Each structure stands twice: as C-alpha cells, then as structure tokens.
Amino acid sequence: MALTKTTVIDKIEVVGEHKMVHVRTSTMINEDGVELSHSFHRHVIAPNANIKGEDAEVQAVCNAVHTQAVKDAYSAFVSKA
C-alpha cells in the first residue's frame, strides 16, 4: 500500500484589464494508483506583487504580461481606491 501526493500547477490564466494572473494548483492523493483525494488551491498575482517565490512558469507568464505600462496603470488604479 503506497500513498503518493502529487502537487502540480494545472492552470494559469490572465484576467482583466490589469492582467491579474490566476494560478490553480492541483493536489492529488493516490493509493496504489487509485485516486483517493483531489483538491485545488487558487491564488491571484497582481502586477505589483513580488513573484520571487513563484514557480518558474508562473514567473515567465507574469514577466510577459506585467509590462511597465500595465504596472503603471494598476498603480494609478490602486491609488484612486
């Protein structure tokens, strides 16, 4: 009887005017190849967020879509709130 836990980032989406990056992580618990449990965790990365601790693929998406223009527009939006 072997239990295994697998965690993978299975979805990265870019959403909205300010290019928020939505990241979904899937966690699966298997016993001898049979799935016992499956859960999801989601988090959102804003243009002004520190992405140092993120997965390399997530960092690549953030670096591609969080241009200086997007960061400036987001900063202006947040300062109005």
The predicted-structure confidence for 24-60, as pLDDT tens digits, reads as follows 999 999 999 899 999 999 999 999 999 999 999 999 9
User: Which of 26, 25, 65 lies closest to 46, judged by CA?
Assistant: 65
**The model's pTM:** 0.88
What's the pLDDT at 40?
98
Q: How many CA atoms lie within 13 A of 3 on its CB side?
A: 4
Longest Cα–Cα distance in the chain: 57
